[in-house]
């Protein structure tokens, strides 16, 4: 799986507060040089500079206008991103450029030794880019199925916390658009560009492809209650648990996909990246063994979920393929499509059937 080098989604998309390096001036207050971009949406952009290229204020240009949904403040967006240094005329980072190889683990940790936040999703097998997270919903490990490059990153669009050039490149623009943004040092990385060899006064160039939109929430006001299933407990717009008081004692031996809210967005296909909120319980039990409703990233392990064999339990893959963005579904998963006769951790015993409520916010 190819990722933006140096953790672009975590570092450059947020308002910076780090020390920088590089040139101390931008060649004066007047604009100098130029930048041009060629290539179609989805392809690696070819960026050419007449360096040093400097600007005195943030400027943006829609290079290719998409016809998809408009991304608004508060939404999440799947993007591919190029970053360049206008002063040197060099690429700093790009999702179209392979980063240095990362060490990979050959085995997923034994589920019995993993924290309960692992339960219900990570399946034993190859595990690439393993990363432990301590926050509830940040599942240990990463999805292992290979994804065709480049893999889009996901960022929440917020006027308060998103870097201004990135915000300007995405907010108010439609999915399918390619946007060029140039920003002076104080509006780009400022003192936080060291990881990209961009000085605190260097003009930074961003080329952003808006791949998909993901809403912050699913409207559950009209949610239906499926028969022979637990009811959903909500508080302040979040799913907090499942009530089995009126549900049968046994889940049954077949996978059930119950649609509580029917969305009208893109349908999930194998290999897709998906922004989602979820909560899981063992059938008939009161304890929630895993949820990401309060996690910063609506996904699995701090990233969007990859719907692929080998990275998720079989019940998730079979159950989510075909579900449309904007939907809330309940997956009732028999043990053989979950953790079978091995169980997982201290909360999922051998033979336990699982229930998940999943809000599908966006698909890329």
**Mind listing the pLDDT tens digit for each residue in 285-321?**
999 999 999 999 999 998 999 999 998 999 999 999 9
Q: Rounded to two decimals, what is the model's pTM?
A: 0.79
The predicted structure's pLDDT at residue 147 = 35
- In whole angstroms, what is the distance from residue 82 CA to residue 45 CA? 8
Give ∠ CA 191-35-46 in degrees, rounded to 5: 100
The pLDDT of 326-351, averaged and rounded, is: 97
Asked whether 315 and 338 are in contact (CB, 8 A), the reply is yes
CA distance 298 to 278: 8
Average pLDDT of the residues in 156-174: 95
Which run of H or of E encompasses 183? strand 178-183
> What pLDDT score does 99 carry?
52
d(CA 31, CA 206): 17
CA distance 55 to 81: 20
Q: Give percent of the chain with pLDDT exceeding 70.
A: 77
pLDDT surpasses 90 at 216: yes
CA distance 189 to 180: 16
The pLDDT assigned to 150 comes to 77
Residue 47 · residue 207 · CB < 8 Å = yes
Place of tokens 């240009």: 61
Banded model confidence at residue 239, pLDDT cuts 50, 70, 90: very high
3-state secondary structure of 49: strand
Q: What is the pLDDT of residue 15?
A: 58
Cα separation, 114 vs 245, in Å, equals 30
Is the pLDDT score of 28 beyond 80? no
pLDDT for 141 beyond 60: no
pLDDT value at residue 193: 81
CA geometry: angle at 124 spanning 122 and 128, to 5°? Answer: 75
H helix intervals, the chain:
8-11, 164-170, 314-320
Instruction: Pull the structure tokens for residue 36.
Output: 């041009």
CB 317 within 8 A of CB 245: no
Helix (H) / strand (E) containing 276? strand 273-282
Q: For residue 150, is the peptide bond before it cis, meaning its omega torsion is within 30 degrees of 0?
A: yes
Instruction: Examine the pLDDT at 8 and tell me if it is beyond 70.
Output: no
Contact 201, 184 (CB under 8 A): yes
The mean pLDDT of 116-128, rounded to a whole number, is 38
The length of the chain is 364
Structural domains in the chain, CATH included, are 5-98+149-214 (3.10.50.40), 216-363 (3.10.50.40)
Q: Dihedrals φ, ψ of 274, to 5°?
A: -130, 130
CA gap 114, 112 in Å, rounded: 6
- Supply the pLDDT for residue 360: 98
């Amino acid at each position: 799986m190819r990722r933006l080098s140096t953790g672009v989604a975590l570092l450059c998309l947020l308002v910076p507060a780090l020390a920088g390096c590089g040139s101390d001036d931008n060649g004066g207050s007047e604009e100098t040089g130029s930048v041009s971009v060629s290539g179609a949406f989805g392809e690696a952009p070819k960026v050419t500079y007449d360096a040093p290229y400097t600007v005195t204020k943030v400027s943006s240009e829609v290079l290719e206008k998409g016809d998809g949904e408009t991304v608004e403040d508060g939404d999440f967006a799947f993007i591919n991103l190029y970053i360049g240094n206008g002063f040197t005329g060099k690429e700093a980072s790009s999702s179209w450029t392979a980063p240095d190889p990362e060490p990979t683990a050959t085995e997923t940790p034994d589920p019995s030794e993993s924290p309960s936040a692992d339960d219900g999703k990570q399946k034993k097998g190859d595990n690439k880019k393993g990363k432990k997270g301590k926050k509830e919903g940040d599942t240990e490990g990463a999805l292992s199925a290979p994804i065709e490059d480049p893999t889009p990153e996901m960022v929440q669009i917020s006027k308060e916390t998103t870097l201004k050039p990135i915000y300007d490149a995405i907010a108010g623009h439609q999915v399918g658009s390619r946007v060029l943004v140039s920003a002076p040092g104080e509006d780009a990385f400022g003192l936080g560009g060291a990881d990209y060899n961009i000085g605190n006064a260097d003009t930074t160039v961003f080329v952003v492809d808006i791949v998909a939109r993901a809403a912050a929430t699913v409207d559950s006001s009209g949610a239906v209650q499926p028969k022979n299933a637990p009811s959903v407990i909500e508080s302040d717009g979040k799913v907090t648990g499942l009530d089995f008081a009126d549900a049968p004692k046994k889940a049954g031996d077949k996978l059930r996909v119950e649609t509580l809210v029917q969305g009208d967005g893109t349908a999930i296909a194998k290999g897709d990246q998906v922004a989602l909120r979820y909560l899981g319980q063992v059938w008939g039990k009161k304890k929630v063994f895993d949820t990401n409703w309060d996690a910063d990233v609506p996904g699995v392990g701090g990233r969007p979920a990859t719907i692929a064999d080998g990275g998720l339990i079989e019940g998730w893959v079979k159950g989510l393929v075909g579900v449309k963005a904007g939907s809330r579904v309940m997956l009732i998963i028999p043990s053989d499509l979950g953790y079978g006769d091995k169980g997982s951790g201290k909360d999922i015993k051998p033979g336990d059937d699982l229930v998940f409520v999943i809000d599908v916010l966006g698909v890329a």
